[in-house]
Amino acid sequence: MRASDTDRERVAQILHAAMGEGRITMEELEERLTEVYAAKTLADLEPITADLPVATGGTVATAPTRAVGAPDDRIGGRPGSTTSIAIMSGADRKGAWVLPQQHNSFAFWGGVNIDLRKARFEEKHSTITAVAIMGGIDIVVPDDVIVDVTGIGFMGAFETKDSGEVRTPPPDAPVIKVTGFAFWGGVTVIRKGPKKNTKQIKE
């Protein structure tokens, strides 16, 4: 069966946890991550964690949830597309993907949505160059990464806003620089905090 990006992400998280516990070295982690992101099938993924206690019965175990304050486990991997282009149309980048060190986004009479809440990062420092001409580009980032917005809006908007309650990112968090230009359009960087787990009580 073909491996999905989610399958590769689970194995990568297992390897990061194993390194944190001292079961494998940094060099072994890098070697195994290379194999993970080159894997095409589930059978290719199984041997990578076969000697680790988190992988039992020849299946990939579910990775533990990433702890707040430990964002570096998202750095590394084979980068995804370096461009997001929407010309009189729309383009989406979301889910489990790897943001390359440099990503270029262009919208003309269209819209681009880049969602980084489940993304990994090729490098600790990434740059997104966003150009919106009579169009819009929305970039959604988790609140535990550092965002530096330096774009220019001319008869348009190049702005950052928070959605919900957001936290201050730790100093060792991944850094995303968003630069570019908006003309008769808008580029919006939206910082989102974790979803609240609310319960409704019915009387």
The full set of domain ranges for the chain reads 5-63, 83-192
Question: pLDDT tens, 27-85?
Answer: 787 788 888 888 888 888 889 998 887 543 333 433 344 444 444 678 888 888 899 99
In degrees, to the nearest 5, what angle opens at C-alpha 159 toward C-alphas 113 and 128? 50
* pLDDT given at position 200: 43
CA 117 to chain centre: 6
* pLDDT given at position 67: 47
Tokens at 107, concatenated: 């919208």
Q: What are phi and psi of 43, to 5 degrees?
A: -65, -30
HSE-up (13 A, CA, CB side) for residue 28: 15
* pLDDT given at position 121: 93
**CB 186 within 8 Å of CB 139:** no
- Spell out, as residue ranges, where the chain has pLDDT lower than 70: 20, 54-72, 195-203
* pLDDT given at position 58: 38
* pLDDT given at position 197: 53
